[in-house]
Amino acid sequence: MMLKWTSKALSDLARLYDFLAIANKPAAARAVQTLTKAPTILLNTPRIGE
């Protein structure tokens, strides 16, 4: 399965980074990186949330 990010989703990630970066830039970067890795984690372990 392949994930295709929509422009709205990418815009949301950018807005999230901008919002969090005001308080802590490294934490903002980690949050965005974690969210972008989530689909891969879910593809490899789909029952992780159960």
pLDDT of residue 11: 97
pLDDT of residue 50: 74
pLDDT of residue 42: 83
Q: How far is CA 22 from CA 9, 32, 47, in A?
A: 21, 14, 35
Q: How far is CA 21 from CA 1, 11, 32, 34, 46, in A?
A: 32, 15, 11, 15, 31
Could you read off the pLDDT of 1-47 as tens digits, one per residue? 678 899 999 999 999 999 999 999 999 999 999 999 888 888 888 88
